[in-house]
Amino acid sequence: MNPTNTTAPKLEITASRQFVPWLYEQNLSLAFTTYQAGKVFFIGLQPDGKLSVFERTLDRCMGLYAKGNSLYISTLYQLWRFENTLPSGETHNDYDAIYLPQVGYITGDLDIHDIVVDDNQQLIFANTLFSCLATISETHSFVPVWQPPFISKLAAEDRCHLNGVGLKDGKPKYVSAISQSDVNEGWRQKRVNGGCVIDIDSNEIVLEGLSMPHSPRWYQDKLWLLNSGTGEFGYGDLETGTFQAIAFCPGYQRGLAFHNNFAIVGISESRHTKTLSGLPLDDKLAEKDTTARCGLLVIDLKSGDIVHSLNIEGVVNELYDIAVLPQIRRPMAIGFRSDEIRRVITIGNRDSLLGKGTEN
């Protein structure tokens, strides 16, 4: 009788030939979440120039947003703010950023997708379960701040699968949804071409006929987004209301960030589920004689070429969100599963409590 092979799948991360030099030249690191594996990863460079991969376990982590020294992450039923505790120019064990969890809000399981922080420091998130945008509350699970005009009632029914929110001029401006459905999980019948992008200010649908759209982002005077159901990355022509693809990505896209003239796109392996099967992406992959893979793609915005990539195999096969961490070479984070969090203590400046600020 042969013994049963119980070897757990390992994590394998491999970079394309110029990915590491690109990280060095751009002077940045990356963070990404995978709710399938319940991990947040930090990708940077070791002192010897090799790739640095650091991970922490966070149950069903999805939305990810970086602003200044803060990193916001949504999990199964919480929203967390992590803070980089290392002053600029300092390192600890060869890491130049240490993200420490500072504030957590209990939201309940809202299936939170995208997170943004506006210029008023208000944390706003895609409350997918209730088909609205919402913010945190000191006394409640959430406070709704906007809902699509076609949603007649806030109910825990995931009616349109509102998943993405993007800022423009420091304020929430665009939202992506899989459909315009107003019934319980109605979006599941509209996956192929029912997707749309909505202008929050005017309540107008500025793009429609999309397939599983995600990650609307305003950058360099364009509305970029992922048309995930077709595997296309591109931008919306707001004058004609059409989507203009500039690149095909070999995987199910989620997560979009920018730096200089590059877009960083997350792709995931195909899931053989009713939700994600039967999409145009499947046919396009077959036409190109390939299969969906998991990883990060770096796309040149001028040419549409995929110039660098990070391939992920093994225990992780799908991603959700990406954040760029500029001027950080090698980040890490303090987690909740070891005693380390008990011993990391930081001291604030008392002058900030008195409103005096900090003297240089």
- How far apart, in whole angstroms, are the C-alpha atoms of residue 6 and residue 43? 29
Rounded mean pLDDT of the chain?
A: 93
Tell whether the model's pLDDT for residue 272 goes beyond 80: no
- How far apart, in whole angstroms, are the C-alpha atoms of residue 217 and residue 214? 9
Spell out the domains of the chain, with CATH numbers in brackets: 28-344 (2.120.10.30)
Return the ∠ at Cα 99 (arms to 96 and 102), rounded to 5°. Answer: 145
Please state the rounded mean pLDDT for residues 235-258.
Answer: 97
- How far apart, in whole angstroms, are the C-alpha atoms of residue 275 and residue 273? 5
* pLDDT band at residue 349 under the 50/70/90 scheme: confident
Q: Report the share of the chain in percent with pLDDT over 90.
A: 87
Tell whether the model's pLDDT for residue 2 goes beyond 60: no
Tell whether the model's pLDDT for residue 352 goes beyond 60: no
- For 83-107, write each residue's pLDDT tens digit: 999 998 999 999 999 999 999 999 9
Cβ 181 vs Cβ 188: under 8 Å: no
- For 304-344, write each residue's pLDDT tens digit: 999 999 999 999 999 999 999 999 999 999 988 778 878 78
- 36-50, 149-163, 267-281: which has the minimum mean pLDDT? 267-281
The per-residue pLDDT for 357 is 46
* pLDDT band at residue 273 under the 50/70/90 scheme: low
The per-residue pLDDT for 275 is 59
223: its two tokens: 């509305």
Q: Measuring CA to CA, how many Å separate 228 from each of 206, 351, 355? A: 18, 48, 47
Tell whether the model's pLDDT for residue 253 goes beyond 50: yes
- Cα first-last separation, the chain: 73
CA atoms in the 13 A half-sphere facing the CB of 209: 6
Residue with tokens 């990070």: 310
- For 274-308, write each residue's pLDDT tens digit: 556 789 999 999 999 999 999 999 999 999 999 99
Evaluate if pTM is beyond 0.75.
yes
- For 184-243, write each residue's pLDDT tens digit: 999 999 999 999 999 999 999 999 999 999 999 999 999 999 999 999 999 999 999 999
The per-residue pLDDT for 343 is 79
- How far apart, in whole angstroms, are the C-alpha atoms of residue 159 and residue 151? 8
The per-residue pLDDT for 337 is 79
Cβ 84 vs Cβ 71: under 8 Å: yes
* pLDDT band at residue 356 under the 50/70/90 scheme: very low
